[in-house]
Amino acid sequence: MDSFVDEYLPPQVKLNPKIQSKIKVSDLASHQSGLPDFDMLRLLQLNPVQPLDEVTTEMVDSILVHTSDLESLGAYQYSNISYVLLGYILENVVGSNYEKIVNNNLLKPLKMKNTFTSDFSSGISTMGYDFQNNKRGFLNWNSVIAPAGLLKSNTSDMLKFIQFLLATDDKEILRKIQKTYFKNTFIELGLGLNILRDSDNVVYAKSGDSVGQSSVLAYNKQKNLGVIIITNQARGIARHLIREITLILK
């Protein structure tokens, strides 16, 4: 976590010399790498239906090569490209592609049979709705940006994931994902998780939106409680409930 990303990136991924040996792996996971995010508005203009289809390895490489200053390094700034880099690192270290890594190390062991990567053909899904209440299908699997969050799942499977986090006594796993990597007066972040702390009572949570969906995952290990909310609207409904959910879990 404290190593610079340069040590683990595959040879074909090049950082601008001015930002080499500056970004730690934990900076990527806690959104403080200083790297820019993808321009979602531009992607939507290019492809209103499937904007992430426009994200290519060439686009990622161009951003990394032309980013010569990390103005927000060490400060919180949400960045999907940080998770793309984490995917590159994972693939390089494990020696496999991200999709196989997720399936073999997460979905199969936890028997998450209703969580899908590229093979999303169950036929059982809801229609999403965007901010203007227009119908929106699920985003296509794109192997480039997939590590930033393109899994399709349901509440039952995500509860299996929470149950694992609540039940595991693997101290190394818990130490890494629940350690504080960033904190200011507004937000505290673990390994991709928001940490909502009230004295010794701690809730770990993750929320997010796509163009047609909104979701939140939260759990309190001390009280053995967890919550999953998945909605088919992109207006952040689930995300906006995170504070209320925190009060329930406390």
Over residues 171-211, the pLDDT tens digits come to: 888 888 888 999 988 889 988 889 988 877 899 999 888 88
Q: What is the pLDDT of residue 45?
A: 94
First to last CA, the chain: 29
Tell me the Ramachandran region of residue 21: left when phi exceeds 0, alpha when psi lies from -120 to 50, beta otherwise.
Answer: left
Q: What mean pLDDT is reported for the chain?
A: 90
| Gap between the Cα atoms of 56 and 140, Å rounded | 13
- Two tokens at 152? 């399709």
| Gap between the Cα atoms of 190 and 172, Å rounded | 14
pLDDT tens sequence across 73-102: 999 998 899 999 999 999 999 999 999 999
Residue 240 has pLDDT above 90, yes or no: no
In the chain, where the domains are located: 1-95, 107-250
Rounded to two decimals, the pTM is 0.90
Fold of 107-250: Beta-lactamase (3.40.710)
Q: What is the pLDDT of residue 147?
A: 94
- Amino acid code (one letter) for 77: Q
Residue 238 has pLDDT above 80, yes or no: no
Q: What is the pLDDT of residue 84?
A: 95
Q: What is the pLDDT of residue 123?
A: 61
- Containing 189, the helix (H) or strand (E) segment is strand 188-189
